[in-house]
Amino acid sequence: MTPLLRLLPFIAALLLICVPAAQAQEAVLKGKDVTAEALIDALALPEAGAPRTRGLKPVSPDARPSAAAAGGRANLLITFLTNSTTLTAEAEGIVATLAKAMQSDSLSGVRFRVEGHADARGDPQANLALSKARAEAVAARLAQKHGVAAERLQPEGKGAAEPLNKERVDAPENRRVTVVSLR
Protein backbone atom coordinates (compact mmCIF):
# COMPACT_ATOMS: atom_id res chain seq x y z
CA MET A 1 0.00 0.00 0.00
CA THR A 2 1.36 3.42 -0.93
CA PRO A 3 1.90 6.05 1.78
CA LEU A 4 -0.88 8.20 0.33
CA LEU A 5 -3.42 5.38 0.51
CA ARG A 6 -2.49 4.77 4.14
CA LEU A 7 -3.31 8.42 4.92
CA LEU A 8 -6.80 8.34 3.39
CA PRO A 9 -8.60 7.09 6.53
CA PHE A 10 -6.96 9.85 8.57
CA ILE A 11 -7.90 12.51 6.01
CA ALA A 12 -11.50 11.28 5.95
CA ALA A 13 -11.68 11.35 9.76
CA LEU A 14 -10.26 14.87 9.82
CA LEU A 15 -12.90 16.03 7.33
CA LEU A 16 -15.67 14.55 9.47
CA ILE A 17 -14.36 16.46 12.46
CA CYS A 18 -13.73 19.79 10.71
CA VAL A 19 -16.82 20.15 8.52
CA PRO A 20 -19.40 20.18 11.35
CA ALA A 21 -17.16 22.53 13.34
CA ALA A 22 -17.00 24.95 10.40
CA GLN A 23 -20.78 24.86 10.03
CA ALA A 24 -21.18 25.61 13.74
CA GLN A 25 -19.36 28.92 13.31
CA GLU A 26 -22.39 30.45 11.61
CA ALA A 27 -25.07 29.42 14.10
CA VAL A 28 -27.96 31.80 14.64
CA LEU A 29 -28.99 32.27 18.26
CA LYS A 30 -32.72 32.52 18.78
CA GLY A 31 -35.31 32.08 21.47
CA LYS A 32 -34.09 30.34 24.62
CA ASP A 33 -30.55 30.01 23.18
CA VAL A 34 -30.06 33.76 23.67
CA THR A 35 -28.68 34.10 27.18
CA ALA A 36 -26.28 36.67 28.56
CA GLU A 37 -23.75 33.89 29.22
CA ALA A 38 -23.96 32.56 25.64
CA LEU A 39 -23.53 36.08 24.25
CA ILE A 40 -20.58 36.83 26.53
CA ASP A 41 -18.90 33.61 25.36
CA ALA A 42 -19.62 34.37 21.69
CA LEU A 43 -18.53 38.01 21.81
CA ALA A 44 -15.46 37.69 24.05
CA LEU A 45 -12.19 38.65 22.41
CA PRO A 46 -8.91 36.92 23.28
CA GLU A 47 -6.67 38.80 25.70
CA ALA A 48 -4.25 41.18 23.97
CA GLY A 49 -0.94 39.40 23.50
CA ALA A 50 -2.43 36.00 24.30
CA PRO A 51 -1.34 33.28 21.90
CA ARG A 52 -4.02 32.38 19.39
CA THR A 53 -4.32 28.67 18.81
CA ARG A 54 -6.64 26.43 16.91
CA GLY A 55 -7.66 23.03 18.11
CA LEU A 56 -9.72 20.19 16.78
CA LYS A 57 -12.22 18.30 18.80
CA PRO A 58 -14.68 15.68 17.63
CA VAL A 59 -18.16 17.06 17.00
CA SER A 60 -21.12 14.83 16.31
CA PRO A 61 -22.96 15.78 13.11
CA ASP A 62 -26.23 16.30 15.01
CA ALA A 63 -24.72 18.43 17.79
CA ARG A 64 -26.20 21.89 18.32
CA PRO A 65 -23.81 24.67 17.32
CA SER A 66 -22.22 26.59 20.16
CA ALA A 67 -22.53 30.34 20.41
CA ALA A 68 -18.87 30.44 21.34
CA ALA A 69 -17.85 28.79 18.08
CA ALA A 70 -17.72 32.12 16.27
CA GLY A 71 -15.42 33.96 18.75
CA GLY A 72 -16.12 37.70 18.73
CA ARG A 73 -19.29 37.31 16.67
CA ALA A 74 -22.91 36.43 17.40
CA ASN A 75 -25.68 35.98 14.83
CA LEU A 76 -29.04 36.79 16.40
CA LEU A 77 -32.51 36.23 14.99
CA ILE A 78 -33.85 39.68 15.86
CA THR A 79 -37.18 40.10 14.10
CA PHE A 80 -39.04 43.21 13.02
CA LEU A 81 -42.51 43.99 11.80
CA THR A 82 -42.72 43.55 8.02
CA ASN A 83 -40.91 46.31 6.06
CA SER A 84 -40.30 48.17 9.30
CA THR A 85 -37.67 48.96 11.92
CA THR A 86 -40.10 48.19 14.76
CA LEU A 87 -38.82 45.27 16.84
CA THR A 88 -41.19 42.44 17.72
CA ALA A 89 -41.86 41.66 21.39
CA GLU A 90 -39.53 38.65 21.23
CA ALA A 91 -36.80 40.82 19.68
CA GLU A 92 -37.14 43.33 22.52
CA GLY A 93 -36.25 40.53 24.94
CA ILE A 94 -33.25 39.48 22.86
CA VAL A 95 -31.98 43.08 22.72
CA ALA A 96 -32.36 43.38 26.50
CA THR A 97 -30.29 40.20 26.96
CA LEU A 98 -27.71 41.50 24.49
CA ALA A 99 -27.45 44.75 26.48
CA LYS A 100 -26.93 42.79 29.70
CA ALA A 101 -24.07 40.87 28.06
CA MET A 102 -22.52 44.04 26.62
CA GLN A 103 -22.55 45.65 30.08
CA SER A 104 -20.94 42.65 31.77
CA ASP A 105 -17.44 42.96 33.21
CA SER A 106 -16.17 40.67 30.43
CA LEU A 107 -17.38 42.93 27.61
CA SER A 108 -17.41 46.37 29.27
CA GLY A 109 -14.43 47.70 27.29
CA VAL A 110 -15.43 46.23 23.92
CA ARG A 111 -16.92 48.15 20.99
CA PHE A 112 -19.37 46.41 18.66
CA ARG A 113 -20.42 46.54 15.03
CA VAL A 114 -24.17 45.90 14.78
CA GLU A 115 -24.83 44.48 11.30
CA GLY A 116 -28.28 44.32 9.77
CA HIS A 117 -28.82 41.56 7.18
CA ALA A 118 -31.68 40.98 4.75
CA ASP A 119 -32.78 38.13 2.54
CA ALA A 120 -32.48 38.41 -1.24
CA ARG A 121 -36.17 38.99 -1.96
CA GLY A 122 -37.08 42.41 -3.24
CA ASP A 123 -35.04 45.33 -4.52
CA PRO A 124 -31.35 45.13 -3.49
CA GLN A 125 -31.13 48.88 -2.73
CA ALA A 126 -34.29 48.77 -0.61
CA ASN A 127 -32.94 45.72 1.26
CA LEU A 128 -29.66 47.53 1.93
CA ALA A 129 -31.46 50.62 3.23
CA LEU A 130 -33.82 48.53 5.40
CA SER A 131 -30.96 46.44 6.83
CA LYS A 132 -29.07 49.63 7.70
CA ALA A 133 -32.15 51.18 9.33
CA ARG A 134 -32.70 47.98 11.34
CA ALA A 135 -29.07 47.93 12.53
CA GLU A 136 -29.48 51.56 13.57
CA ALA A 137 -32.74 50.71 15.37
CA VAL A 138 -31.05 47.95 17.38
CA ALA A 139 -28.09 50.20 18.24
CA ALA A 140 -30.46 53.01 19.27
CA ARG A 141 -32.50 50.63 21.44
CA LEU A 142 -29.34 49.33 23.13
CA ALA A 143 -28.21 52.90 23.86
CA GLN A 144 -31.48 54.65 24.71
CA LYS A 145 -33.41 51.98 26.56
CA HIS A 146 -30.63 49.83 28.00
CA GLY A 147 -27.81 52.32 28.64
CA VAL A 148 -25.10 50.86 26.37
CA ALA A 149 -22.84 53.78 25.42
CA ALA A 150 -23.67 54.81 21.84
CA GLU A 151 -19.97 55.31 21.03
CA ARG A 152 -19.47 51.56 21.60
CA LEU A 153 -21.94 50.75 18.81
CA GLN A 154 -21.31 50.99 15.08
CA PRO A 155 -24.46 50.14 13.05
CA GLU A 156 -23.96 48.91 9.49
CA GLY A 157 -26.36 47.61 6.84
CA LYS A 158 -25.25 44.62 4.79
CA GLY A 159 -28.41 44.02 2.74
CA ALA A 160 -28.46 40.53 1.22
CA ALA A 161 -24.68 40.39 0.64
CA GLU A 162 -23.92 37.76 3.32
CA PRO A 163 -26.69 35.14 3.49
CA LEU A 164 -26.25 32.27 5.93
CA ASN A 165 -28.60 30.03 3.95
CA LYS A 166 -27.60 30.35 0.30
CA GLU A 167 -29.95 27.58 -0.80
CA ARG A 168 -33.13 29.30 0.45
CA VAL A 169 -33.14 33.05 -0.16
CA ASP A 170 -36.18 33.67 2.06
CA ALA A 171 -34.79 31.71 5.05
CA PRO A 172 -35.28 33.51 8.39
CA GLU A 173 -31.58 33.18 9.26
CA ASN A 174 -30.80 35.47 6.30
CA ARG A 175 -32.83 38.23 8.02
CA ARG A 176 -30.76 38.71 11.14
CA VAL A 177 -28.61 41.04 13.16
CA THR A 178 -24.98 40.07 13.64
CA VAL A 179 -22.97 41.62 16.47
CA VAL A 180 -19.22 41.70 15.95
CA SER A 181 -16.74 42.56 18.69
CA LEU A 182 -14.16 45.21 17.77
CA ARG A 183 -10.96 46.22 19.53
Query: Among 5-9, 17-21, 49-53, where is mean pLDDT lowest?
Result: 17-21
Q: How confident is the model at residue 67 (pLDDT cuts 50, 70, 90)?
A: very low
Tell me: the pLDDT tens digits for 136-156? 999 999 999 999 999 999 999
Sheet holding 28-29, edge to edge: 28-29, 73-76, 177-182, 111-117, 153-159
**Alpha-carbon distance values, 14 to 8, 21, 34, 143 (Å):** 10, 11, 31, 44
Which whole number is the average pLDDT over 169-175? 89
CATH topology classification for 27-45+66-182: 60s Ribosomal Protein L30; Chain: A; (3.30.1330)
CA 113 to chain centre: 11
Q: Residue 63: pLDDT above 50? A: no
Tell me: the pLDDT tens digits for 20-61? 333 434 688 888 889 999 999 999 987 654 454 444 444 334
Backbone CA torsion sign across 29, 33, 35, 40: negative
The model carries a pTM of: 0.74
Tell me: the pLDDT tens digits for 76-120? 999 888 788 999 999 999 999 999 999 999 999 899 999 999 999
Closest residue by Cα to residue 169 from 134, 130, 120: 120
Q: Residue 171: pLDDT above 80? A: yes
